[in-house]
Amino acid sequence: MIKYNNYKPSEIDWIGNIPFNWVTKRTKDVIKSFVGGGTPSTDKIEYWDGLIPWVSAKDMKFDRISETIDYVTELGIKESSSKLIKSNSILFVARSGILKHTFPVAINIVPVAINQDLKAIEPNKLVSVDFLACSFKGLSSKILMQCQKVGATVDSIEIQEFLNFQIALPPLSEQTAIAQYLDTKTQAIDKKINLLTQKAETYKELRKSIINDAVCKGLDKGVKLKESGIEWIGKIPKHWEVKRVKDCFNLFTGNSISDKGLFERKENSIDYVSTKDIDFETGKITYDNGVYIPIEDKGFKLAKANSILICIEGANAGKKIGFTEKDICFVNKLCAIKSKSKNNIDKYLFYYTQSLLFEKQFFSILNGLIGGVSLNSIKYFDIVSPTKEEQTSIASYLDEKTQKIDAIVSNIGKQVDTLKELRKTLINDVVTGKIKVTA
């Protein structure tokens, strides 16, 4: 990487030295306008389904605006105390739960309206819009460190801190060259990230397919089939049975904790598992999360080792499913399922809950404002029941297959993370003058 010939102190600790002909400026020194957004009343049909894209935090993907599905009218913008944001403005998320991890920034190529969680900046003549956007992207971790306000529910950006945030500024002609260079380089990295992401998704779909085939039809491809008698199940191996969950398994929910500070002592305790501790893709459980239930406290329900944990309430209902490797206590949003007899293999049911046969039953009755399925409903779900020997064989087969696929997906994820870090470092080094861009 080429460096500049001469540097000077920026007098800003985290920027360090900058090229001799660069200066430092506050954000408010390089912008012409700074505006927020609003949400038109959803009760007024005349405010919606117009021609103006309406962008919210969910539409800010990585460093671009996704294809928004919401559109508003000019009247809707006016009545929500919002403004029409000119094209080639810089949009950023100023309030959202995602600010714990990232600081989404994007340039709108067409006029848009924004909701109250976003802010829009129009640069002045000192800076190009592309370079300023690149600076915010490259310095996102510093912006979060200096300007982030941690809230009880969502985090936000302290606007005054943000307006006083310092950036390194080269001459205008050099800004254009830097923005073009980073556009080319980041597009190449993004292409690799997208290809790897697609590859990972293919493996995830393969994982689902393998599980579904094994628990629906078994491992013997030549076995004779019969009608199950249930339309959504269809045909099953001739010697298999259809049973209800409650006929084979016990089900119960856990206990909530109002003050986790009372349960931080690890000695002589049992791990406490919440929904966030279950991996979305693999079902692996993180046990040592800082919350522990004293062994002598008998007020908490216990899920034995080799129990299935299913989230039955909230956004992850039916999506987060784990399998315990030891005895644990758990949150009330999770349902524990454990076999009643040695004739039913818990690991087989764990994989069955990830099949289309289970999903169809669960999501067909998922309801309520926060989304939920009652314990009593799950008790009456149908399950296909092979022999004990077949359940054991299917579980062992799926253990081997899924572990291999999970390892591949995990490796792809590490490659993606490396590329994202490379992308961020590249932008940071270029916009702070650590690397010189040449024509």
pLDDT at residue 98 greater than cutoff 80: no
Cα radius of gyration (the chain): 27
Can you give the pLDDT at residue 439? 64
With 0-12 CB in 10 A as exposed, 13-18 as middle and 19+ as buried, what is 137? buried
CA distance 335 to 121: 47
Q: How confident is the model at residue 261 (pLDDT cuts 50, 70, 90)?
A: confident
Instruction: Compute the average pLDDT of residues 195-203.
Output: 97
Q: What is the pTM of this model?
A: 0.83
Mean pLDDT over the full length of the chain: 92
Can you give the pLDDT at residue 211? 96
With 0-12 CB in 10 A as exposed, 13-18 as middle and 19+ as buried, what is 32? exposed
Instruction: Compute the average pLDDT of residues 72-78.
Output: 92
Can you give the pLDDT at residue 62? 62
In the chain, what are the helix, strand and coil shares in percent, each to the nearest 5? 35, 25, 40
pLDDT tens readout for residues 119-170: 999 999 999 999 999 999 999 889 988 998 887 667 889 999 999 999 999 9
Domains 23-169 and 241-385 share a fold: yes
Tell me the fold of 23-169: Adenine-n6-DNA-methyltransferase TaqI; Chain A, domain 2 (3.90.220)
Q: How confident is the model at residue 370 (pLDDT cuts 50, 70, 90)?
A: low
Instruction: Compute the average pLDDT of residues 205-229.
Output: 93
pLDDT at residue 61 greater than cutoff 80: no
Instruction: Compute the average pLDDT of residues 259-266.
Output: 86
pLDDT at residue 269 greater than cutoff 80: yes
Query: 391 or 69, which is more confident?
Result: 391
Residues 6 or more apart whose CB falls under 8 angstroms from that of 368 comprise none
Most confident of 231-240, 255-264, 429-438: 429-438
pLDDT tens readout for residues 303-333: 999 999 999 998 899 999 999 999 999 999 9
Instruction: Compute the average pLDDT of residues 196-207.
Output: 97
Cβ atoms of 43 and 76 closer than 8 Å? no
Domain chopping of the chain, boundaries: 23-169, 241-385
CATH 3.40.50.300 fits 241-385, yes or no: no
Cβ atoms of 53 and 112 closer than 8 Å? yes
CA distance 90 to 347: 51
With 0-12 CB in 10 A as exposed, 13-18 as middle and 19+ as buried, what is 129? middle
Q: How confident is the model at residue 368 (pLDDT cuts 50, 70, 90)?
A: low
CA distance 217 to 226: 11
Q: Judging by DSSP bridges, how do beta strands 249-253 and 71-72 pair with one another?
A: unpaired
